[in-house]
């Protein structure tokens, strides 16, 4: 038969390595961790390398940067390549473990420039992070950008709590909203599945 695909590669934009080289090893202050994430989100859509979303996995206590991810859906042609997904997978690549919550690892924290979509909410649960920091969680993201975030569970905060995952909301909120506003005003592509439901 026709040969079926057997593998794929997911990668950060070319500009990322140069930027990463200028970052400190550790970022002790939470606001500074989010500032890095908000900056990556803005660069990513301004440079045309993906949507206005970024995420980072940090060691919760030391602030060591383990990985940073940006949205890569359109450039890589993969609907899964959201920022949280990239950051989590790259952290697991760096550490050689599918469980960032493994007992021999320090506690890991995911920092994102808004509440994850339904897919990334799930991927966060499976990642092993024990701490999530979000710039916000309200309808502003969808209103400003046109992205569909999907049907997250109505009790998503309780679900995190029941799984021992701490949640901090509102860090870097204004900067995150400024990025979404700039994206919305840019006329850039919104890549909702099935042509935004037109099919």
Interface of this chain with its own copies, residues 38 to 57, rule: CB under 8 A: none
Contacting its own copies within 166-185 (CB under 8 A): none
Contacting its own copies within 129-148 (CB under 8 A): 130
Selected from 74, 167, 169, 178, the binder of its own copies by CB under 8 A is: 74
Q: Convert residues 11-40 into a mask of x (bound to its own copies by CB under 8 A) and - (unbound).
A: xx---xx--xxxxxx---------------
Selected from 59, 150, 166, 167, the binder of its own copies by CB under 8 A is: 150
Q: What angle do CA 78, 55, 128 make, to 5 degrees?
A: 90
Selected from 31, 61, 163, 170, the binder of its own copies by CB under 8 A is: 163
Strands 54-59 and 108-112 come out as antiparallel
Q: Is 68 in the site for its own copies (CB under 8 A)?
A: yes
Gap between the Cα atoms of 109 and 116, Å rounded: 14
Shortest Å, Cβ 94 to its own copies: 4
Q: Is 159 in the site for its own copies (CB under 8 A)?
A: yes
Residue 108, SS3 per DSSP: strand
CB contact at 8 A, 8 and 78: yes
Gap between the Cα atoms of 144 and 178, Å rounded: 10
Dihedral Cα 187, 57, 66, 58, nearest 10 deg: 120
Q: Is 186 in the site for its own copies (CB under 8 A)?
A: no
CB contact at 8 A, 134 and 112: yes
CB contact at 8 A, 179 and 42: yes
Selected from 80, 167, 169, 190, the binder of its own copies by CB under 8 A is: 80
Gap between the Cα atoms of 39 and 126, Å rounded: 26
Contacting its own copies within 90-109 (CB under 8 A): 90-94, 96-99, 101-103
Task: Give the nearer residue to its own copies in terms of CB position, either 24 or 48.
Answer: 24
């Amino acid at each position: 038969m026709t040969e079926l695909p057997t593998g794929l590669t997911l990668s950060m934009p070319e500009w990322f390595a140069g930027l990463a080289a200028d970052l400190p090893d550790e970022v002790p202050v939470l606001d500074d961790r989010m500032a890095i994430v908000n900056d990556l989100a803005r660069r990513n859509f301004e440079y045309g390398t993906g949507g206005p979303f970024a995420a980072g996995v940090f060691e919760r206590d030391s602030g060591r940067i383990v990985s940073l991810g940006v949205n890569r859906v359109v450039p890589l042609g993969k609907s899964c390549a959201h920022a949280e997904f990239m950051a989590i997978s790259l952290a697991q690549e760096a550490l050689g473990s599918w469980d960032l919550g493994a007992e021999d690892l320090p506690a890991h924290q995911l920092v994102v420039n808004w509440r994850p979509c339904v897919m990334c909410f799930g991927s966060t649960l499976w990642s092993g992070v024990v701490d999530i920091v979000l710039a916000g969680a309200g309808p502003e993201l969808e209103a400003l950008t046109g992205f569909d975030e999907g049907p997250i569970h109505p009790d998503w905060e309780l679900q995190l709590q029941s799984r021992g995952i701490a949640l901090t909301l509102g860090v870097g909120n204004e900067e995150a909203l400024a990025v979404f506003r700039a994206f919305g005003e840019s006329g850039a592509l919104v890549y909702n599945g099935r042509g935004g439901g037109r099919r």
